Amino acid sequence: MNAPVFSLATMLENKEVSLDSFLGKPVMLTFWASWCPDCHRDLQLKNQFYRSINSDQLVFLTINVTGREGNPDDGVKFIKENHYSFPVLKDLGTKMYDAYQCMGVPTTILLNKDHEIVERFNDKASFTAILGSIGKII
């Protein structure tokens, strides 16, 4: 299945990022919300991973599901408080969350170089399982 295409603004800089601009590279997308304890744990591990990867091998994008936040600014506060260095995009309410058929947060989706969805992980997935699948697409 081809991944739904998007163009979303970054959380802090308000700069547009388009999925199409990464065609030819595998992509890891993570949908999250600031109130979610599983998201906290997941994003801490992913931040360490992000600092160690080569961005030419894997595009790493996270998407704050603003439509699932109590206040749309909660995601900005969360990112600043936790000093995350990975790219954070703002969903338009739940538009991309719904387009990717997410059932909860966090949800991690892996896309191959042709941007076909090859794997989907829900909130109960281990980071080790996600890493194993990343190894298959890079």
Q: Read off the pLDDT of residues 45-92 as tens digits, 9 standing for 90 and up.
A: 999 999 999 888 999 999 999 999 999 899 999 999 999 999 999 999
Q: What is the DSSP letter of 4?
A: P
* pLDDT (mean) for 15-20: 98
Where along the chain do its domains lie?
A: 33-109
Cα 71 from Cα 25, distance rounded (Å): 33
- Residue ranges of alpha helices (H) inside 26-124 are 37-52, 74-82, 95-99
Q: For the beta carbon of residue 19, count every other beta carbon within 10 angstroms.
A: 20
Residue 128 scores a pLDDT above 90 = yes
Is CATH 3.40.30.10 the classification given to domain 33-109? yes
pTM: 0.96
Sign of the alpha-carbon torsion through 46, 119, 26, 64? negative
Cα 32 from Cα 62, distance rounded (Å): 7
